[in-house]
Amino acid sequence: MVIKKICCIGAGYVGGPTCSIIALKCPDIVVTVVDKSKDRIAQWNSEKLPIYEPGLDDVVKQCRGCNLFFSTDIATAIREADLIFISVNTPTKTFGNGKGRAADLKYVESAARMIAEVATGNKIVVEKSTVPVRAAESILNILRANNRPGVSYQILSNPEFLAEGTAINDLLNSDRVLIGGEDTEEGHAAVEELCWVYEHWIPRERILTTNTWSSELSKLAANAFLAQRISSINSLSAVCESTGADISEVARAVGLDSRIGPGFLQASVGFGGSCFQKDILNLVYICECLNLPEVAAYWQQVITMNEYQKSRFSAKVIESLFNTVTDKQIAMLGFAFKKDTGDTRESAAISVANTLLDEGAQLHIYDPKVEKSQIIEDLTHPSVTEEPERVKSAITIHKDPYTATQGTHAIVLCTEWDEFKTLDYRKIYEGMVKPAYIFDGRKILDHAELIKLGFQVQTIGKRLSRPNLARVWGSSSQIL
């Protein structure tokens, strides 16, 4: 088989960018991305794409209408494709067995059933969503149990390692592409077909082929390792704050060991994003099901430490503001889970905002890319508050960081957007209630300069001097 047509089910953060790059690099292949959401597809076909990802607009503009199409006609795209990616969402289950931990595979299952219903001929079905180990087997069971004469399937696992905000570069210059398949002649042939697609731009030595289950587990493992590094450095940031060590210096010293390396050692208010927490919870659940409680407890601790970091940061904000934020005006700079994305899934900002709102604060939120409606949805969702109307009246979303900070008692910085480094903090200080506080949850600001301007500055993993208040408030004003 030579792959001429690819269909991708799911036009989200994974399916959209991945297929755009495949279309860009494989002009001989027609790529159709389908989604059940009419709105999402309309946005992919419009000037304003549904996701913000640096560099994505250019790629889409170059390929759309040539060999890249976005459509809601899922059945036709499946029928015509030689290879089908399943890139639907796999959220953590919110009810029933495995609630709060297991991945909800209902979208994967419905995509598989749709393929079973309409497919004709030979199809390679590629699982691209992050799914638990052995999910490929479930997809295969659905497909083969509903098989019709003349139709045959090969299932591959091809996990996505792109990070939001750098997705285009990650796709163009992948450290590795991982493809897992069945250990049969047909399985090997299908793996080779997908290798051929990636070989249009990825050197062969960076394409790893494994069995399906190794591929599935590798994705969970890679995310668990990355998140574990962040939780490790965050745990030490608490030690730094109590001892006078500086977590950036520690991270640098540790990261220079070539066996350890410098990546993912940036202490922060806590990791977010659609993958880390979900994948680790999934891993924990799988370990429990496999009767491996020690392994489950080991990975669970990575999440526990992340929760601790988020609540430790919120608690320090409240404590520093004289133990009460009731009716205080607090500016939040950044709401996305990291810079260069408009995605807020599991963002630490949500947790910090919730705590401050529970304590009666008035929040003024500014993020360069997150939509107002998304912030309101995140903060009024039934899973986070029973009082959506009260919350709505306590938050104001701003289009500008200067109006967001005007008249506030404190600034809480939750996302490391570059533009926050170069704001006019003298002007901001002048417009704030004194003493004016800044809580830098990302360690990106020039703290010495801010202190010179008059700010009370606190950050993660480092004590900063606060001469005046230290004297007045004594030990109760412990510095973060």
179 binds, among ligand ADP, ligand UDX, none (CB under 5 to 8 A by kind): none
Is residue 10 part of an annotated ligand binding site?
Answer: yes
Q: Residue 56 carries which side chain, given as an amino acid letter?
A: L
- Binding of residue 354 to ligand ADP (CB under 6 A): no
Q: What tokens appear for 138 in the block? A: 């479930």
- Binding of residue 40 to ligand ADP (CB under 6 A): yes
Contact 365, 300 (CB under 8 A): no
Return d(Cα 476, Cα 72) in angstroms, integer: 59
Element (H, E) at 176: none
* Catalytic site includes residue 275: yes
Least distance (Å) from ligand UDX to the CB of residue 108?
17
Q: What tokens appear for 474 in the block? A: 């004594």
Taking each helix axis from N to C end, the angle separating 293-320 and 348-358, rounded to the nearest 10 degrees, works out to 50
Whose Cβ is closer to ligand ADP: residue 108's or residue 265's? 108
Q: Which residues pair with 179 in a beta bridge?
A: 209
Q: Which of 49, 59, 111, 247 binds ligand ADP (CB under 6 A)?
A: 111
Least distance (Å) from ligand ADP to the CB of residue 139?
12
35 binds, among ligand ADP, ligand UDX, none (CB under 5 to 8 A by kind): ligand ADP
- Binding of residue 89 to ligand ADP (CB under 6 A): yes
223 binds, among ligand UDX, ligand ADP, none (CB under 5 to 8 A by kind): ligand UDX
Q: Which of 8, 35, 63, 368 binds ligand ADP (CB under 6 A)?
A: 35
Q: Residue 435 carries which side chain, given as an amino acid letter?
A: P
Least distance (Å) from ligand UDX to the CB of residue 160?
5
Q: Which of 6, 7, 15, 246 binds ligand ADP (CB under 6 A)?
A: 15
Q: What tokens appear for 74 in the block? A: 């899922």
Q: Considering the candidates 63, 275, 287, 414, report the single residue annotated as catalytic.
A: 275
Return d(Cα 253, Cα 245) in angstroms, integer: 12
Residue nearest to ligand ADP (CB): 12
DSSP string covering 40-84 = HHHHHTSSS-SS--TTHHHHHHHHBTTTEEEES-HHHHHHH-SEE
Could you tell me the CA-to-CA distances from 4 to 30, 123, 447, 464 in Å, in that order?
Answer: 6, 12, 55, 60
Whose Cβ is closer to ligand UDX: residue 182's or residue 416's? 416
Whose Cβ is closer to ligand ADP: residue 11's or residue 412's? 11
Whose Cβ is closer to ligand UDX: residue 112's or residue 230's? 230
Q: What tokens appear for 118 in the block? A: 């309409």
| Residues belonging to the active site | 275
Give the footprint of ligand ADP on this chain (CB under 6 A). Answer: 9-15, 35-37, 40, 74, 87-89, 107, 110-111, 129, 274
